[in-house]
Structure 1
Amino acid sequence: MAVKTIWPIDHTCGHHADRDLSDRPADRRAGFAEWLARQECTDCWRASNEGDEQDKAAWLKAKRAEEQTASEAWSEQYQMPPLEGTERAVPWGVRCRHQILTNAYTALVTEGTNSEAEWAEIEESARTVTRAGWWIDQRSSEPEDLTELLRAATGADRPTENPFF
């Protein structure tokens, strides 16, 4: 006799469902059916978690607003120029620039071996990059790579004359 594949499940919410467990190995069906019986049915679970998604969205919106305020204050304090880009990209770019530069300062100056004078050069170079998309693209970069990335963005690593012409 084969192990049954359709199992009657009485969920904790009071709903009943006949579940097809044929996709599970035969020796795991009974245990899974018991576990399902200790859960709400799918519809009740979704209904109870719907508010959680709204709470997460509200929390994320508040967190982004807080980060944006801090980033804009930082940009003003350190005289960073406004960024250029789409309506959506500019605020994101401002947050990314803030995070990238503060992380780099910590890694290179506070915890590293760069001097304040060396950092001032990096910061001045960063002021010349005003495309929001560039800062967004660099958001996962390592702080130690910032100098090289800024040189590439500003053309400082490109030869001034083309030897082939």
Structure 2
Amino acid sequence: MAVKTVWSINHACGHEADRDLSDRAADRRAGFAEWLAKQECTDCWRASKVGDEQDKAAWLKAKRAEEQAESEAWSQQYRMPPLEGTERAVAWGVRCRHQVLSAAYTALVVEGDTSETEWEGIEEAVRSVTRAGWWIDQRSSEPDDLIELLQAATEVDRPTENPHF
């Protein structure tokens, strides 16, 4: 006699469903059916995820608003110029600039050998980079690379990779 392939599952949510387990090895079907009985049915699981996704989206929106307010306050405090780009890019760029510079200050000044006077020079170079996209692109950079990145961004006569264009 063959091991059955369709199992009637009484889920933890109280719903009952027939489940085809033919895609599992015969010796694993009973254990999987037992595990399924401890779970919510597919419909209940999906319904709970919609709520979770809405909660996650609301949390993320609140977190982004908090980060944005903090970044804008920081920008005003340190007299950072407004960034250029689309509305969405500017908002993201302001957050990225704040995060990059906060991490760099900690690494270079607090934990490193850069003096406050040297940092003020770095801040002046930072003020000349106003393209939001540049800050977005640097969001994953290492704090120790900031000076070199700023030098590259502020070079007036950058050589092109292909001199024919």
TM-score if structure 2 supplies the norm length? Answer: 0.89
Distance 1:25 1:8, change over 3 A: same
**1:96 and 1:135 in contact (8 A); partners too:** yes
Superposition pairs of residues 56-75 of structure 1, within 5 angstroms? 56-75=56-75
Q: Counterparts of 1:152 and 1:27 in 2: how far apart (Å)?
A: 63
Query: Does the 8 Å CA contact 1:100/1:143 hold for their aligned counterparts?
Result: yes
Q: Which 5+ residue runs of structure 1 have no aligned equivalent?
A: 160-165
Q: Which runs of 5+ in 2 are unaligned?
A: 160-165
- Tell me how far 1:22 sits from its aligned partner: 2.6
Give the 3-state SS of the residue equivalent to 1:22 in structure 2: coil
Q: Give the structure-1-normalised TM-score.
A: 0.89
Letter in structure 2 aligned against 1:69: A
Shift of 1:158: 4.2
The 3 A distance-change label for structure 1 pair 156 and 104 is farther
Tell me how large the CA RMSD over aligned residues is: 1.7
Distance 1:122 1:28 in 2: 63
Identity of aligned residues (%): 81
Corresponding residue for residue 137 of structure 2:
137
Equivalences for residues 4-23 of structure 1 within 5 A = 4-23=4-23
The equivalences for 1:47-58 within 5 A come to: 47-58=47-58
SS of residue in 2 equivalent to 1:130:
coil
Residue 28 of structure 1: how far off its partner (Å): 2.1
CA distance in 2, matches of 1:2, 1:122: 75
Q: Is the 8 A contact 1:151 1:157 kept in 2?
A: no
Q: Residue in 2 aligned with 1:40?
A: 40
What SS does the corresponding residue of 1:17 show, helix, strand or coil? strand
